[in-house]
Amino acid sequence: MDFTFQEDQTLLADTVRRFMVNEVSPELIRELWSRPSGRSPDLWRQLAEQGLTGLSVPAEHGGMGMGDVDWVLLAQECGYHGLPAPLLESSWVAAGLLAALPPNDTRDRALVGIADGSLRVALGHAYSPLVADADQAHLVLLEQGGRLFAMPSNRVALTAQESVDPSRRLFTVEWESEPQYCIAEQAAPLMEQAFLLGALAAGAQLLGLAQRMLDLAIDYSAERKQFGKPVGSYQALKHQLADVAVKLEFARPVVYRAAHAMAHGADAAAAHVSHAKVAAAEAALLAARNAMQVHGAMGYTWEVDLQIFMKMTWALDAAWGERSLHLARLRAHVLAPDAALGPGSTFEEQE
């Protein structure tokens, strides 16, 4: 199996990286934390102008019709730069759910709006009951009684909930199911697919966050001095940073494998996604802990950028299923009597 990304995929990721270097800075993130909305309309407009809001939308609805493997590199960049916008939730997860529905007026209008950036969609799920960015959404997708509803924002009541990450705006949603807003009678398979996309998106972001915190720690270890020498010259800190690099290197292909499984509808896609979420979360949490060791108590302060990405890591670790849930799913897959395990199930024989 070839996990090499195609040239157009890496070029798109490079373009997104350059955009975010210029437009998404720690200073902007801090500024948005102090705004009541916590969001920047200008940043969202720029994302739409770059075509990023329509990546998952089929071409007939004004999008680019790209898939999960294309998204996974972009999600890493969103994590690395701490993008304070619901791009992944609305334009990957929710758009993917809507695109899987049979054509209807509500679904088609929503996809066109997502593609041009004029409409944002939030999603509530049993495994993620707090709805991210529900206050910014025009539609909120919710399940009740086995049916899926696309509720307009003026038909739901929102209550803000505190998050360890001020960039992650969470809400409880109170609503009454109204038949005219039902868009699918059988919601279970759609919600499972959306849950897997959400967990994959969180895992890819955690990869980016881990790399960002590792880079910050490396840079700071060259600047901070003790006993007249940079702390990065001490063997103990070198080992800590090396541990993060190794953990990250092993987590990255696991996330890519999960994206490939989702894109190709593999039977074990759910297990691959759970593995990816767990591996990426462990790498990011280790990066946060060891980067804090390098920074010392300064790492918790407002002025140091590390605290921004640590908070995002802690929030995403619990988003779209906690590690205990994903470990249970992975355990059930591995211990199943008919589990397809071993190299014979991983690699195809070549004649």
C-alpha span between 232 and 240 (Å, rounded)? 10
pLDDT at 175: 94
What band does 84 get if pLDDT is binned at 50, 70 and 90? very high
In whole angstroms, how far apart are CA 345 and each of 38, 164, 340, 348, 349?
Answer: 47, 41, 6, 7, 10
CB count within 10 Å of CB 108 equals 15
DSSP state of 185: S
325-344 pLDDT tens trace: 999 999 999 888 877 777 66
CB 212 within 8 A of CB 241: no
C-alpha span between 294 and 222 (Å, rounded)? 10
C-alpha span between 261 and 257 (Å, rounded)? 6
What band does 285 get if pLDDT is binned at 50, 70 and 90? very high
Domain boundaries in the chain? 189-337
Domain 189-337, CATH among 1.10.10.10, 1.20.140.10, 3.40.50.2300, 3.40.50.300: 1.20.140.10
Measured in degrees and rounded to the nearest 5, phi and psi for residue 160 equal -70, 140
CB 310 within 8 A of CB 167: no
pLDDT at 296: 81
What band does 350 get if pLDDT is binned at 50, 70 and 90? low
155-199 pLDDT tens trace: 999 999 999 999 999 999 999 999 999 999 999 999 999 999 999
C-alpha span between 122 and 153 (Å, rounded)? 10
C-alpha span between 248 and 146 (Å, rounded)? 38
pLDDT at 295: 81
Enter the pTM of the model.
Answer: 0.93
